[in-house]
Amino acid sequence: MAEQAEKKHVVVIGAGPGGLTAAMILAHRGFRVTVCEAQPHVGGRNGAIRLGPYTFDIGPTFLMLKDILDEVFREAGGDADKAMDMRRLEPMYRLQYQDKYIETSTDHEKMKSEIARVFPGHENRYDKFFKQEQTRFRYLFPCLQKSYHRFRTMFAPDMIKALPYIAAGKSLFDVMYGIFGNRDLALTFTFQAKYLGMSPWECPGLFSIIPYIEHGFGIYHPIGGLSRISETMADQARANGAEIRLSAPVEKIIVKDRRAKGVRLAGGEVIEADDVVINADFGYAAQNLFEPGVLRKWTPQKLQKMRLSCSIFMMYLGVDKSYDLPHHTVFFAKDYRRNVEDVFHLRDPGTDISFYVRNASLTDPTLAPPGHSALYVLVPVANLRAPVDWAAKRDSFREVVLKNIEERTPMKDIRSHIREEKIIGPREWRDDLNVYEGATFNLAHNLTQMLYFRPRNKFEEVGNCYLVGGGTHPGSGLPTIYESGRIAANLIARSHQVPFVSGNLEV
């Protein structure tokens, strides 16, 4: 097995979660693997920012479906639990409305009593939610784990069986309001549309599996932060023999006779390859990594027609104080629906914003010195298709965010305690992190941009070229991104007749 694979060289563009998953698995199967990463560190959006004594996660702040991470590590010859100290968060998070808050739990009876406390009389509806969504998850999730490079997969028997569960024509909000019959309670189970960069009122109903996944399987924090997962994956890939080249931006993918033959780095160096895996953001890659005219389908015009996720205005604040605030808190805008529509209908964010504060120092002492906190503040905003001049707006929007924090959280004196600060807004996502239109959660996940209709793991335009990451199938979010890396690794192994053992054989 190793002999066959050793002759094959795979170049992976980008050391984000998708690229690292593919790299560590392929290297374990005996392939020669070279990862070229533009940044001086691994992880991409799942990397770390270190400011003075503070460590922040750039993007992901919790892991769902830990089993998938465990599986991909096993398939790379590693053991995630041995390599990382994973903590299951209980309660999971607090949701703060104007006049009340609710804390969510994976303990069924605790969750019901919390619903009874905040929304009396609605607690038994949680049983219905759990049962209905458990069934939906059982039918739908295996369909997301396959590759859709062939149209016929859309008609595979398990897809047909899953059809009644896709909630066609219904939004996530419709599905949850249908169960809970209370707007604010329904928000508890629909704000998760944000994880896909979508609005609960537009996100397809089938994504009700996301709140189920949280409540059914819990959410995790690795000590050291979520970036530890990427760093540990990189260690595993290196241990398996992969080379990870940092500060090595790829300028172009070399294509001959419509097949990928390697990459050219920004400095001019050419690296030949049998296969190329693209982990760089899909919209950015389609626009920048191919010579003009190579792509016939994913042209700039086609990309402009695709629906995109929202963007995010991020503030990373190192403060010399501890605050009484849970690990994760989401603050809903006064007029949440209007706020969501501003974000998704490409309007200026205004001052009545929704925001999320992560106070991970509460659980994890490695992120800040004793008595200090590494605070992460996330504000969903429109992507760069909106007519907002972020160069002019950045400072005034920082003020809006700080004012909201002062008014709505216990951190009334935050300004006087900020020791370190970094902002990443829509323009920085695009210009510094190569994210197309600053749409941080990639292409939107509407039904016409999913499965066979999303850019495919076996790239449909160029041979020997594979896509991984949030812009391809199954979509944005760590577990599905790990699946994209595993699907690509399996497709590559199969194309070279390299036998492998995988929990996902549906390629």
Ligand X SMILES: Cc1cc2nc3c(=O)[nH]c(=O)nc-3n(C[C@H](O)[C@H](O)[C@H](O)COP(=O)(O)OP(=O)(O)OC[C@H]3O[C@@H](n4cnc5c(N)ncnc54)[C@H](O)[C@@H]3O)c2cc1C
Residue 359 in contact with ligand X, rule: CB under 6 A: no
Nearer to ligand X, 163 or 266 (CB): 266
- For the record, the structure tokens of 178 come out as 């249908």
Nearer to ligand X, 177 or 344 (CB): 344
Q: Under DSSP, is residue 425 helix (H, G, I), strand (E, B) or coil?
A: coil
Nearer to ligand X, 115 or 382 (CB): 382
Among 192, 354, 373, 440, binds ligand X (CB under 6 A): 440
| DSSP H helices in 219-335 | 227-239, 282-288, 300-305
Among 31, 54, 56, 62, binds ligand X (CB under 6 A): 62
In the shown chain, the binding pattern of residues 243 to 282 toward ligand X, with x for contact by CB under 6 A and - for none, equals: ------xx----------------------------xxx-
Among 11, 15, 213, 375, binds ligand X (CB under 6 A): 15
Q: Please check whether residue 65 is in contact with residue 218, taking contact to mean a CB–CB distance below 8 angstroms.
A: no
Residue 438 in contact with ligand X, rule: CB under 6 A: no
Window contacting ligand X (CB under 6 A); options: 31-39, 316-324, 444-452, 492-500: 31-39
Name residue 103's amino acid: E
Q: How many residues bind ligand X (CB under 6 A)?
A: 34
- State the Cα–Cα distance between residues 54 and 273, nearest whole angstrom: 39
Give the dihedral of Cα atoms 395, 397, 402, 404; nearest 10 deg: 160
Chain residue whose CB lies nearest ligand X: 16
Report in angstroms how near the CB of residue 245 gets to ligand X at its nearest: 9
Report in angstroms how near the CB of residue 327 gets to ligand X at its nearest: 12
User: Which is nearest to 234 in space by CA: 246, 222, 220, 249?
Assistant: 246
Residue 283 in contact with ligand X, rule: CB under 6 A: no
- Contacting ligand X within 39-58 (CB under 6 A): 39, 44-46
Report in angstroms how near the CB of residue 25 gets to ligand X at its nearest: 14
Among 262, 318, 326, 470, binds ligand X (CB under 6 A): 470
Q: Please check whether residue 249 is in contact with residue 36, taking contact to mean a CB–CB distance below 8 angstroms.
A: yes
In the shown chain, the binding pattern of residues 379 to 418 toward ligand X, with x for contact by CB under 6 A and - for none, equals: ----------------------------------------
For 127-171, give the DSSP string. HHHHHHHHHHHHHHHHHHTS--SSGGGGGSHHHHHHGGGS-TT-B
Window contacting ligand X (CB under 6 A); options: 35-43, 91-99, 163-171, 330-338: 35-43
Nearer to ligand X, 176 or 285 (CB): 285
Report in angstroms how near the CB of residue 311 gets to ligand X at its nearest: 9
Window contacting ligand X (CB under 6 A); options: 110-118, 163-171, 204-212, 468-476: 468-476
Name 451's Cβ contacts closer than 8 Å, sequence gap at least 6: 143, 148, 153, 154, 473
Nearer to ligand X, 30 or 224 (CB): 224
Residue 474 in contact with ligand X, rule: CB under 6 A: no
User: Which is nearest to 76 in space by CA: 485, 497, 505?
Assistant: 485
Report in angstroms how near the CB of residue 358 gets to ligand X at its nearest: 9
- State the Cα–Cα distance between residues 311 and 237, nearest whole angstrom: 31
Report in angstroms how near the CB of residue 427 gets to ligand X at its nearest: 14
Residue 35 in contact with ligand X, rule: CB under 6 A: no
Q: Under DSSP, is residue 413 helix (H, G, I), strand (E, B) or coil?
A: coil
Given its phi and psi angles, is residue 406 left (phi above 0), alpha (psi -120 to 50 degrees) or beta?
alpha
Among 8, 11, 14, 332, binds ligand X (CB under 6 A): 14
- State the Cα–Cα distance between residues 37 and 279, nearest whole angstrom: 10
- For the record, the structure tokens of 385 come out as 């298709």
Provide the CB-side half-sphere exposure for 166 (13 A, CA): 14
- State the Cα–Cα distance between residues 147 and 125, nearest whole angstrom: 35
| Number of Cβ atoms within 10 Å of the Cβ of 151 | 10
- State the Cα–Cα distance between residues 153 and 263, nearest whole angstrom: 31
- State the Cα–Cα distance between residues 20 and 485, nearest whole angstrom: 8
- Contacting ligand X within 315-344 (CB under 6 A): none
Residue 69 in contact with ligand X, rule: CB under 6 A: no
Among 140, 234, 276, 378, binds ligand X (CB under 6 A): 378
Among 8, 18, 207, 397, binds ligand X (CB under 6 A): 18
Binding residues for ligand X (CB under 6 A): 13-18, 36-39, 44-46, 59-62, 249-250, 279-281, 312, 314, 378, 434, 440-441, 469-470, 476-478, 481
